[in-house]
Amino acid sequence: MDANKHKILNDLAQAVIEMDAPRAVKAATEAIYCKIDPYEIITDGLARGMDKVNELFEQEEYFVPEILLCADTMNAGIEVVRPHLPKENTRDKKKVVIGVVKGDTHDIGKNLVKIMLDNAGFEIYDLGRNVPYAKFVDTAGELNADLVCLSTLMTTTMDGMQVVIEDIKNAGIVSRIMVGGGPISPGFAKRIGADGYAKNAAEAVKVAKGLFQNIHVPLTFKTPELVRVRKKNS
Ligand code: B12
């Protein structure tokens, strides 16, 4: 990586860590001007800063107010980059229902996944956070959704994903289902009957596309068998 790019990406990460939104906006603008790939600006710059923030939270150096200011800073940078993300305009847009399951209000990661899928040409219906199980099922049914994306960051709410998946299947809805979030592993995703899992937003786009191209996308943690395509009416 050339030195200037390295410097700008570090600056973006540092701006998030230091809760400095004007600096994030300036560095993001510079990154765009220097033609750094918009996805790299988000994943290797802003989101990398947020990863460090998570560590600081775990080490009890940062607390709730800091976390929220860091997230605002990341979002300020993303807003600069967003218009520059390559927008894929597919004719047959797949409908995606996305949300964070009941009991969980963490939505920073879900929002990143949403932005990436939106730019990749999916039609997004965002149910938000702390979403009742039935809301996923009802919305997927009403919209005849192609994909339902479930997010959670807490071990205490993981099991809710399984409830949603079972309810969707029991209702005869044929939407594919992708899961993700901090405590979710490929093994857990497979066990609860999900069609796909991704460890981050960039992977989520690859996996989502793979689900509709009838191809196996190599997943993180070496579980490509997880992407199985459920045939309609099966
Ligand atoms: C930020 C944060 C908060 C913020 C949330 C702000 C917000 N609007 O989201 C605030 C301060 C409000 C908060 C509150 C709480 N938090 Co908190 N929080 C975090 C923290 C530090 C970072 C999470 C984050 O945003 N990461 C950044 C994003 C970009 O990463 P991500 O969410 O993992 O998302 C990526 C991937 O997971 C994936 N992904 C995510 N969703 C999906 C979905 C799909 C379909 C796919 C494919 C991929 C995918 O892609 C994303 C982008 O790359 C984590 C620590 C950690 N290590 O995760 C704790 C953490 C999640 N929190 C925790 C806890 C306990 C809480 C509280 C209960 C604290 C309290 N006592 O009040 C409350 C939750 C209340 C509730 N009921 O929801 C615990 C959970 C422990 C557990 N049991 O599992 C953690 C792990 C901290 C800890 N070690 O204790 N928290």
What is the model's pLDDT at position 86?
A: 80
What is the model's pLDDT at position 214?
A: 62
Could you tell me the distance, in angstroms and rounded to a whole number, from the CA of residue 73 to the centre of ligand 1? 17
What is the model's pLDDT at position 232?
A: 37
What is the model's pLDDT at position 1?
A: 61
What is the model's pLDDT at position 116?
A: 87
Using a cut of 0.75, tell me whether the model's pTM lies above it. Answer: yes
Instruction: Give the mean model confidence (pLDDT) for residues 111-122.
Output: 90
67: alpha, beta or left? (left if phi > 0; alpha if psi -120 to 50): alpha
Q: Give the integer Cα–Cα distance in Å for 94 and 132.
A: 23
Residue nearest to ligand 1 atom 88, measured at CA: 58
Mean pLDDT estimate for the chain = 89
Assess whether pLDDT exceeds 70 at residue 185.
yes
Q: Are strands 147-151 and 176-180 parallel, antiparallel or unpaired?
A: parallel
3-state DSSP assignment of residue 142: helix
Could you tell me the distance, in angstroms and rounded to a whole number, from the CA of residue 108 to the centre of ligand 1? 8
- Provide the residue ranges of all domains of the chain, joining segments of one domain with +: 3-84, 95-226
Is there an atom of ligand 1 within 6 Å of 128 CB? no
pLDDT-wise least confident of 27-31, 81-85, 169-173: 81-85
Is there an atom of ligand 1 within 6 Å of 52 CB? no
Helix intervals (H) in 82-185: 108-119, 133-143, 158-170
Backbone φ and ψ for 176, nearest 5 degrees, come out as: -80, 160
Task: State which ligand 1 atom lies nearest to the alpha carbon of 208.
Answer: 47
Q: How confident is the model at residue 87 (pLDDT cuts 50, 70, 90)?
A: confident
Give me the percent of the chain exceeding a pLDDT of 90: 76
Is there an atom of ligand 1 within 6 Å of 144 CB? no
pLDDT in tens, 207-232: 999 999 865 544 443 333 333 333 33
What is the model's pLDDT at position 224?
A: 36
- Residue reference for tokens 């009838």: 214
Report the CATH superfamily, name and number, of domain 3-84: Methionine synthase domain (1.10.1240.10)
153, 195, 227: residue to mutate for ligand 1 pocket, most atoms within 8 A of CB: 153
Question: For domain 95-226, which architecture applies?
Answer: 3-Layer(aba) Sandwich (3.40)
Is there an atom of ligand 1 within 6 Å of 8 CB? no
What is the model's pLDDT at position 42?
A: 92
Task: State which ligand 1 atom lies nearest to the alpha carbon of 184.
Answer: 37
Assess whether pLDDT exceeds 90 at residue 164.
yes
What is the model's pLDDT at position 231?
A: 36
Give me Rg for the CA atoms of the chain.
18
